[in-house]
Structure 1
């Protein structure tokens, strides 16, 4: 089964946003995404947005001494290695299939983009907006931060 979606590196340098697609084979490779983001040379913010199979998204932000992560749907770890790897890095157990109902829930740092224009409470509202697909949620995040046009441009090329 091949994974559909996109992984984008987002960089803010000199007051300007830029987005670039990461290799499609990284959709299943959390370590590869983190490594790729750490290699981006920028004085400003660097983070990754990953959308997988219209099921969930991950925000990955390298920080000194580690990485800050947000997984939009912890239940995705039952079916996707990337989501399971995020929970593992967060030191959280994969949910037990018998213990979950139909409601998804996020795990990770809801404040990881607060310094870029998306406060924790607002990110929580976006993540919990169940009527939106993950790419639409990421577009809302991009709009709030100010790089919606750059994100749309690279996704349209994929």
Structure 2
């Protein structure tokens, strides 16, 4: 007799998906307004905000469907790209802020800028680390092994 596998979207996984969905909505709304109203003022920053929004959307979907074929890999790619983006843009926004013109979602690592800019309370910096940790601790082979132990116990 087999027992159904435990759902992957429980506890911290569910919270992670909710935070990713909130970031997807926030970044999408922000980039849409910025691009419509003032794209010519800071095209690099606003394009980066739109890119961040797309990454958050893909990461959210990939985390929701991570148990299905292919989506686990998509989640790894999206969240790794997100981490690289926030580290690169965050570093450059402190070192060479004139490149961007205005802050983007990943500017100043999503935190406090030197000019008093308040971003996303460093959520963009912390989130990919949590996402990668969750993916690592819930990788398909590990989940299957834990389920097998639970069934035989």
TM-score, scaled relative to structure 2? 0.32
Q: From the two aligned structures, give the one with the greater strand fraction.
A: 1
TM-score, scaled relative to structure 1? 0.31
Larger radius of gyration, structure 1 or 2? 2
